[in-house]
Chain A
Amino acid sequence: MYGLDAITANNGWHMAALGISIVFTGLILLSFTVAQLHNILRLFDNRDACCKKIRGLFKKNNNKQEVGNSDLTLPNNIKEAAGQCKLLIERIGEPFSLPRLIELSEKCGMSHPCSTINDLILAGFIVPDGKGYYVWNQDDQNRSGA
């Protein structure tokens, strides 16, 4: 058998097409790997700095997680404590100092006033005003514990 019939009968077209495709794939992959080789080695050289960066990222995440986790430790009755505090703050006026709020809370018989006010700060009910005092956060959406 000769000519195109011979090629078709012997599966020549498929073998040739697949063969050249595999050669190209192999060399493209090798080319890509080689092109990245010096970058990989550079990364390996600076592995200490990279590790530090990665550790730093993890630490940040952990801090964030800690903040997040503190939400979980908030008491279930945070809304009730928030309501009490809001009344006290309306009484002393905004902006207010934290020692003054704690003192008033103690006088009003709030249990563990330092811890409760701390929870309210972490939950975003009480926020700093940037001038050394605190204000009541009116924006419900920014409260993580609400």
Chain B
Amino acid sequence: MENLLMEFISNTGFVMADYRHIIMIMVGVIFIYLGIAKHYEPLLLVPIGFGILIGNIPVFKGLGLSLYESNSVLYYLYFGVTSGLYPSLIFLGIGAHTDFSTMLARPVLMLLGAAAQMGIFITFLGALALGFAPKEAASIGIIGGADGPTAIFLSAKLAPHLIGPIAVAAYSYMALVPVIQPPIMRLLTTRKERLIRMEEPRVVSKREKIVFPVIGFLLCCFIAPAALPLLGMLFFGNLLRECMVTERLAHAARTSIIDTVTILLGLTVGASTQADIFLTPQSVGIFALGATAFAIATASGLIFAKFMNLFLRKKINPLLGAAGVSAVPDSARVVQMVGQAEDPTNFLLMHAMAPNISGVIGSAIGAGILWSFLGG
């Protein structure tokens, strides 16, 4: 009996844990705290934070408990991440959620969404320069797209061993958009520019909204077919929303499906950050590059908006460029917040949604391009 007790005690987490597990558990607790107390992306940070706790309970190998053991429950749940299933379903939900009318009303703002994708490719170069392999560098670069599902999708295809750090970095920085972006926005714009008012967008007809997902899908996927799993679902979700005859499906996509997938995605991505795999010098590099990617993406959008103003008769508020990073709708909210700090009667949120949504499309195209370059 004594032996049995000793064997049991030796298999408990208290005995098996080392300092790395403690560090990761603290990270998980911080995520949960940020989500609940600070309201930073709670729908993502709470599942990921709890997933980090799940993944960092020290377990006896061979019992089929760890996410990386092929017969464990978590392994099967994680299949949705490694196969790219969850990101595609999240895009379906995003499409069913999103109203593209601001983008349709002022399509020129889509260029800001393209400009912000510079962050992806400049970070890709940075990661290559730091010695990462091309596939790893591409997966790190996509953090600059500020789009968690896209980052997970591309990492699953190109560098599955980096999904954990990349997903955590992407979602952490997405949650920290209100902290990261405003200083860059203030640094790169003058007060006069921040005060620019946008003219009222035209009214977009229902038929335009119905036709757009079909045309948008065909055009984008003919240009970058590798973006099909993401953009196909995004535009399909949007068609369900707009066509008026599939309201039940659209409702399911934007509520139960996206909620279920968000839970499973967040939890399993969090659980994939097991201390022995996650706490490596590589992860530190990924976090540093991720922050750089975000900053570059924001700056690229802002600078391109200023560049566009050189040619436009009716100037646009350059703050909108920062919404080109596809953290929907957080970066648009930040634009509104920074704009209103200068002029409380200036409402930029609606206008910022245009580059914000085109940023989602742009980052998915970017991911598709990198996958087609390096996936072979």
* A15 to B120 alpha-carbon distance, docked (Å): 11
Contact with A along B336-376 (1 / 0, CB 8 A): 00000000000000000000001001100110011001100
**B131 contact from A2, A13, A16, A18, Cβ within 8 A:** A2
* A131 to B370 alpha-carbon distance, docked (Å): 79
Q: Does B216 contact A (CB under 8 A)?
A: yes
* A6 to B374 alpha-carbon distance, docked (Å): 16
The answer to whether A37 and B104 touch across the interface, beta carbons within 8 angstroms, is: yes
**A38 contact from B205, B361, B365, Cβ within 8 A:** B205
Residues of B within 8 A of A22 (CB): 223-224, 365, 369
Residues of B within 8 A of A37 (CB): 104, 208, 211-212, 215
Interface of B is mostly: helix
**A34 contact from B212, B223, B224, B373, Cβ within 8 A:** B212
The answer to whether A6 and B117 touch across the interface, beta carbons within 8 angstroms, is: no
Q: Does B29 contact A (CB under 8 A)?
A: no
The answer to whether A20 and B121 touch across the interface, beta carbons within 8 angstroms, is: yes
Within A28-42, the residues touching B (CB, 8 Å) are: 28-35, 37-38, 41
Q: Does B263 contact A (CB under 8 A)?
A: no
Q: Give the tally of cross-chain contacts (CB within 8 A).
A: 115
Contact with A along B100-117 (1 / 0, CB 8 A): 000110011011011101
**B110 contact from A15, A16, A20, A30, Cβ within 8 A:** A30
Within B125-169, the residues touching A (CB, 8 Å) are: 125, 128-131, 134, 137
**B118 contact from A10, A20, A25, A29, Cβ within 8 A:** A20
* A5 to B365 alpha-carbon distance, docked (Å): 27
Q: Does A7 contact B (CB under 8 A)?
A: yes
The answer to whether A27 and B128 touch across the interface, beta carbons within 8 angstroms, is: no
Residues of A within 8 A of B122 (CB): 16
Q: Does B91 contact A (CB under 8 A)?
A: no
* A26 to B204 alpha-carbon distance, docked (Å): 22
**A27 contact from B358, B369, B373, Cβ within 8 A:** B358
The answer to whether B365 and A6 touch across the interface, beta carbons within 8 angstroms, is: no
Interface of A is mostly: helix
Q: How far is the CB of A35 from chain B (nearest CB, A)?
A: 5
Cβ-closest chain A residue relative to B210: A41
Q: How far is the CB of B135 from chain A (nearest CB, A)?
A: 10
The answer to whether A6 and B131 touch across the interface, beta carbons within 8 angstroms, is: yes
The answer to whether A30 and B128 touch across the interface, beta carbons within 8 angstroms, is: no
Q: What size tier do the contact residues of chain A reach? A: 20 to 34
**B107 contact from A25, A34, A41, Cβ within 8 A:** A34
Cβ-closest chain A residue relative to B304: A24
Q: Does A1 contact B (CB under 8 A)?
A: yes
Q: How far is the CB of A9 from chain B (nearest CB, A)?
A: 9
Q: Does B220 contact A (CB under 8 A)?
A: yes
* A22 to B124 alpha-carbon distance, docked (Å): 16
The answer to whether A34 and B369 touch across the interface, beta carbons within 8 angstroms, is: no
Q: Does B38 contact A (CB under 8 A)?
A: no
Known: A7-B125, A26-B223. A19 touches B369 (CB 8 A): yes
Q: Does B73 contact A (CB under 8 A)?
A: no
The answer to whether B131 and A1 touch across the interface, beta carbons within 8 angstroms, is: yes
Residues of B within 8 A of A51 (CB): none
Cβ-closest chain B residue relative to A6: B128
* A17 to B374 alpha-carbon distance, docked (Å): 15
Cβ-closest chain B residue relative to A14: B373
**A41 contact from B108, B121, B208, Cβ within 8 A:** B208
Q: Does B191 contact A (CB under 8 A)?
A: no
* A26 to B222 alpha-carbon distance, docked (Å): 9
Cβ-closest chain B residue relative to A9: B128
Q: How far is the CB of A104 from chain B (nearest CB, A)?
A: 68
* A37 to B96 alpha-carbon distance, docked (Å): 21
The answer to whether A19 and B373 touch across the interface, beta carbons within 8 angstroms, is: yes
The answer to whether A19 and B205 touch across the interface, beta carbons within 8 angstroms, is: no
* A12 to B182 alpha-carbon distance, docked (Å): 31
Known: A28-B111, A30-B110. A7 touches B129 (CB 8 A): yes
The answer to whether B373 and A15 touch across the interface, beta carbons within 8 angstroms, is: yes
Q: Does A130 contact B (CB under 8 A)?
A: no
Q: How far is the CB of A6 from chain B (nearest CB, A)?
A: 5
Q: Does B244 contact A (CB under 8 A)?
A: no
Known: A18-B369, A31-B108. 10 other contacts (CB 8 A): A2-B130, A2-B131, A3-B129, A12-B137, A18-B373, A26-B223, A26-B362, A34-B103, A34-B107, A37-B104
Residues of B within 8 A of A (CB): 103-104, 107-108, 110-111, 113-115, 117-118, 120-122, 124-125, 128-131, 134, 137, 204-205, 207-208, 211-212, 215-216, 219-220, 223-224, 358, 361-362, 365-366, 369-370, 373-374
Closest 4 pairs between A and B when the two form their complex, measured CB to CB = A16-B121, A27-B114, A34-B107, A31-B107
